[in-house]
Amino acid sequence: QLNTLLADVLSQANDLMDNGIIAEATQLLAVIKPIDPNLRGLKSAQQRLRRVREINDLLVAGNTALEAQQIVAPENDNALFYFNQALQIDPENTPANAGLAQVQEALLLRASEAAQELDFEMASQWLQQAAAVLEDQSLVDDAWEQLTAFQNMYAEDLERKALAAMDSGQFELADANIIDLIAMGGQEERDRKSVV
């Protein structure tokens, strides 16, 4: 009867771990160990508990890093690092995969903010980092398209302003717009498109 009872407690502990209720699972395993440390399945349940705890610690660290805006830095102390560590232990872990999706979204937001500040080089760097987070590239592809469209629109605006400034004899203003345009880079690509 005692063995049946302990097996039932062990089963409950495993069910609790399935549902992420670690504290109660720990208590149940602590009840079994002094009574029958050699109970069949106890050692694997204890190993599983250690693994689940480790994953939970990594998930907590990842979410804390996300909240602190430590998305990809500092090295080995950022959300991307912690969620990837959790996935190395459990590749199917749903919260860790959801965490990576949040990391990618945060990087895409940073890219968008950099573009709004007209720092297109930084925006590109954020997008490249976002592309490395998940296999699914659909959000990143959309963001690249938006960035390219925004850059082209901004470049066309600078061209218009430069031409208008030249037409009205404001050569310093025209020069400033041309310098901004050159600083953007990719002018040859735009020229090719306009010829085509």
pTM of the model as a whole? 0.79
User: Residue 13 and residue 56: Cα distance in Å, rounded?
Assistant: 16
Q: Which pLDDT does position 20 carry in this prediction?
A: 79
The DSSP code sequence of the chain is -HHHHHHHHHHHHHHHHHTT-HHHHHHHHHHHHHH-TT-TTHHHHHHHHHHHHHHHHHHHHHHHHHHTT-SS-STTSSHHHHHHHHHHH-TT-HHHHHHHHHHHHHHHHHHHHHHHTT-HHHHHHHHHHHHTT-S--HHHHHHHHHHHHHHHHHHHHHHHHHHHHHHTT-HHHHHHHHHHHHHH--HHHHHHHHH-
Q: Which pLDDT does position 190 carry in this prediction?
A: 45
Residues of the chain with pLDDT under 70: 185-196
Q: Which pLDDT does position 189 carry in this prediction?
A: 47
Q: Which pLDDT does position 155 carry in this prediction?
A: 93
User: Residue 122 and residue 112: Cα distance in Å, rounded?
Assistant: 10
